[in-house]
Amino acid sequence: MAKDIEVGTEYAPKDYQDPPPAPLIDPEELGKWSFYRAIIAEFIATLLFLYITVLTVIGYKSQSATDQCGGVGILGIAWAFGGMIFVLVYCTAGISGGHINPAVTFGLFLARKVSLVRAIMYIVAQCLGAICGCGLVKAFQKAYYFRYGGGANTLNDGYSTGTGLSAEIIGTFVLVYTVFAATDPKRNARDSHVPVLAPLPIGFAVFMVHLATIPVTGTGINPARSFGAAVIYGKDKAWDDQWIFWVGPFIGAAIAAFYHQFILRAGAVKAFGSFRSNA
């Protein structure tokens, strides 16, 4: 059974096919309906994601304010985030790739899975979708929206900036690493053993990270989610901590992209072997 293993400076034949790297700038994309359809899909998916999840957060806070045992609790909030990612990635993966997160888009861009133009447009669509999703929550729950924090991410009391930043870096690394692993074409090879439905592990990764980091930062790991909530909520605290929810996820995504592409998939070793062969 063929496996991707090194033999001297050569590699045995593979029983899977890696897609070619995406061009840095692909002007042909701008003339295709599929490109704009994917942008719309990212916008709508992020809108729905923020609408459901922020409503869940506000609903829990309003119920627990009068009854400490009321509401869905942290476990329910984590399920809302993870479950919605599962549903939305499943629905949009065939159209846009189901990113729904600028950090995921950034990681895939670094790995040359998407072009720069597509990455920028996805991030813009995701941020606009997040703003609109939070705007709907405010419109439907105006009485509770500002009273219970608008679902905005902030660094919780008792935690340092370094702790919050580290939580966002590690949490996003877990998510983006899972995205790379779940969508790796090698999983379709005969030596994979375990076929995988990509949205399922991605949704579980979001769920598990929320369980761990809600007490620290409220869990960002998605700059669009944090940005949209901050824009609609508009309070100083949400903006004071906003940089944590951009810098942390982007660093985590970059580390995950490097780890998967150059360590697990041996990109650096293969490149060096090819250089030696040509020399």
Give percent above pLDDT 90 in the chain. 66
> 215 to each of 33, 162, 234, 250, how far by Cα in Å?
43, 15, 22, 21
- Over range 141-162, report the average pLDDT: 92
* Residue 117's pLDDT band (cuts 50, 70, 90): very high
Which residue in 144, 115, 107, 150 sits closest to 39, CA to CA?
115
9 domain-assigned: no
| Structural domain includes residue 249 | yes
CB count within 10 Å of CB 113 equals 21
Amino acid at 236: D
In the chain, what's the furthest Cα-to-Cα distance?
A: 73
User: Residue 89: which of 126, 40, 46 has the closest Cα?
Assistant: 46
Per the structure, the count of domains in the chain is 1
Give the CATH number, domain containing residue 250.
Answer: 1.20.1080.10
Lowest mean pLDDT among 3-7, 69-73, 125-129, 265-269: 3-7
Q: What span, in angstroms and rounded, lies between the C-alpha atoms of 199 and 261? A: 20
pTM for the predicted model, two decimal places: 0.87
Q: Classify residue 220 as exposed, middle or buried by CB count within 10 Å of its CB (0-12, 13-18, 19+).
A: buried
The answer to whether 129 and 42 are in contact (CB under 8 A) is yes
CA 276 to chain centre: 37
Note the pLDDT of residue 271: 47
Give the phi and the psi of residue 6 in degrees, each rounded to 5: -85, 135
* Whether pLDDT at 277 is above 50: no
- Residue 217 three-state SS: helix
Task: Give the structural domain span for 186.
Answer: 27-262
pLDDT digits 0-9 by tens, 25-34: 888 888 899 9
* Unique residue bearing structure tokens 């133009």: 117
Residue 14 has pLDDT above 70, yes or no: no
DSSP letter string, 223-242: HHHHHHHHHHH--HHHHHTT
Whether residue 225 contacts residue 130, with contact meaning beta carbons closer than 8 Å, is answered with yes
Residue 47 lies in a domain: yes
Examine residue 214 and state whether it is found in any structural domain, yes or no. Answer: yes
Q: What mean pLDDT value characterizes the chain?
A: 87
Residue 244 lies in a domain: yes
Contact 229, 134 (CB under 8 A): yes
Q: Is residue 1 included in any domain, yes or no?
A: no
Across the range 61-90, mean pLDDT stands at 89
4: pLDDT strictly greater than 70? no
Residue 156 pLDDT greater than 80, yes or no = yes
146 residue type, one letter = F
Using the predicted structure, report yes or no on whether residue 109 has a pLDDT greater than 90. yes
Name beta bridge partners: 6: 11
Is residue 255 in some structural domain? yes
pLDDT at 274: 45
Q: Return the bridge partners of 10, or none.
A: 7
Highest mean pLDDT among 21-25, 150-154, 203-207: 203-207
Residue 172 has pLDDT above 60, yes or no: yes
Q: Tokens in use for 11?
A: 């590699």
Question: Does the pLDDT of residue 133 top 80, yes or no?
Answer: yes
- The answer to whether residue 2 sits within a structural domain is no
pLDDT at 251 > cutoff 90: yes
Provide, rounded to the nearest whole percent, the portion of the chain with pLDDT above 70.
Answer: 86
Predicted local confidence at residue 268, as pLDDT: 46
| H or E stretch covering 194 | none
Mean pLDDT confidence for 198-208? 95
Q: How confident is the model at residue 192 (pLDDT cuts 50, 70, 90)?
A: low
pLDDT of res. 186: 76
